[in-house]
């Protein structure tokens, strides 16, 4: 009997996003189409300005004017994302999709303890029982490797890597199916970057969410992702598995991107399967 493949978790079809500028509409995402399976990590690579963040923001419905979605469709686990409005959209965010951005300090409120920020998030999604909130917050801290007794601390008491862990804990709070990570480790040093991504890999295996991962760092991306999509001028010009993209890139721009990796940071990094077993 042939195995029936389940439908993808995320399906983006012919997505177009334009920015309204004084000179007229500027196309930032040009008919981008891709899918992401449950429990899969898809990376988006490409030079600055190629449209990666615009895609990510559009999928989470976080884009704001002057950005407008002008075409295409986004389906996440059967939900027509572009049709969501008001309270349904508010509930959908965090529950179905959450976003981790580069600057943890911007995502955390410096005036509130971590505990208060977890509580706000839970209350906004209908979880009001104090004991339950306390228990779930402690569990999230443990998941990201921070002692729960630090819930009472303010964000400035944590290192950069720990703050990014807190943001990841918040992103996991309502067990979303998809976590979008836009340059999540760029502000951190390389050792902390690797540690954090290994931890995200382990959490993903444990909890089963999918990740859309955006970074400038192609070597890091090839270690962390199951598949990579290459963006150029708003279009997705090539998609494939990291090994295939390294060994036989199809698009001239993909070849150029790999060649641009400095020799000290060789493209032939161990693939993710090897990385996950490393200490």
Ligand X SMILES: Nc1ncnc2c1ncn2[C@@H]1O[C@H](COP(=O)(O)OP(=O)(O)OP(=O)(O)O)[C@@H](O)[C@H]1O
Report the interface residues with ligand X, using CB under 6 A: 19, 21, 26, 28, 46, 48-54, 66
Give whichever of 48 and 259 is closer to ligand X, judged by the CB atom.
48
Q: How far is the CB of 70 from ligand X (least distance, A)?
A: 13
The H or E element containing residue 273 is: helix 272-277
Give whichever of 21 and 206 is closer to ligand X, judged by the CB atom.
21
Q: How far is the CB of 93 from ligand X (least distance, A)?
A: 19
Q: How far is the CB of 255 from ligand X (least distance, A)?
A: 19
Q: How far is the CB of 97 from ligand X (least distance, A)?
A: 18
- Closest C-alpha among 265, 237, 234 to residue 48: 234
Q: How far is the CB of 271 from ligand X (least distance, A)?
A: 24
In sequence order, the 6+-apart residues with CB closer than 8 A to the CB of 276 are: 198, 201, 202
Q: How far apart are CA 211 and CA 204, in angstroms?
A: 8
- Closest C-alpha among 247, 237, 259 to residue 32: 237
Q: How far is the CB of 258 from ligand X (least distance, A)?
A: 17
- Give Cα separations from 69 to 17, 57, 83, 87, 100 (angstroms): 4, 10, 12, 20, 21
Give whichever of 46 and 155 is closer to ligand X, judged by the CB atom.
46
Yes or no: say if 211 and 9 are a contact pair by the CB < 8 Å rule.
Answer: no
Give whichever of 146 and 231 is closer to ligand X, judged by the CB atom.
231
Q: Which residue has the tokens 């990376």?
A: 43
Burial class (CB in 10 A: 0-12, 13-18, 19+), 248: exposed
């Amino acid at each position: 009997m042939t195995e029936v493949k389940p439908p993808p978790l995320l399906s983006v079809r012919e997505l177009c996003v334009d920015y309204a500028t004084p000179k007229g509409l500027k196309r930032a995402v040009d008919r981008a189409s891709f899918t992401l399976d449950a429990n899969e990590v898809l990376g988006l690579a490409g030079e600055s300005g190629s449209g990666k963040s615009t895609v990510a923001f559009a999928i989470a419905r976080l884009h704001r004017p002057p950005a407008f979605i002008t075409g295409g469709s986004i389906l996440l686990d059967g939900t027509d994302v572009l049709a969501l409005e008001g309270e349904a959209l508010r509930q959908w965010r965090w529950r179905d999709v959450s976003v981790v951005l580069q600057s943890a300090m911007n995502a955390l409120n410096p005036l509130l303890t971590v505990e208060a920020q977890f509580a706000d998030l839970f209350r906004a999604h209908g979880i009001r029982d104090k004991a339950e909130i306390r228990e779930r917050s402690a569990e999230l801290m443990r998941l990201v490797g921070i002692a729960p007794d630090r819930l009472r601390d303010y964000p400035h008491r944590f290192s950069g890597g720990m703050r990014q862990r807190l943001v990841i804990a918040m992103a996991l709070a309502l067990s979303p199916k998809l976590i979008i990570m836009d340059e999540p480790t760029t502000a951190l040093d390389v050792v902390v970057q690797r540690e954090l991504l290994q931890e995200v890999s382990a959490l993903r295996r444990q909890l089963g969410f999918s990740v859309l991962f955006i970074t400038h760092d192609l070597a890091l991306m090839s270690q962390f992702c199951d598949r990579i999509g290459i963006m150029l001028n708003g279009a997705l010009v090539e998609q494939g598995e990291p090994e295939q993209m390294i060994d036989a890139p199809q698009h001239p721009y993909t070849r150029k991107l790999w060649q641009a990796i400095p020799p000290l940071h060789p493209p032939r990094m161990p693939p993710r399967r090897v990385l996950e077993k490393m200490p």
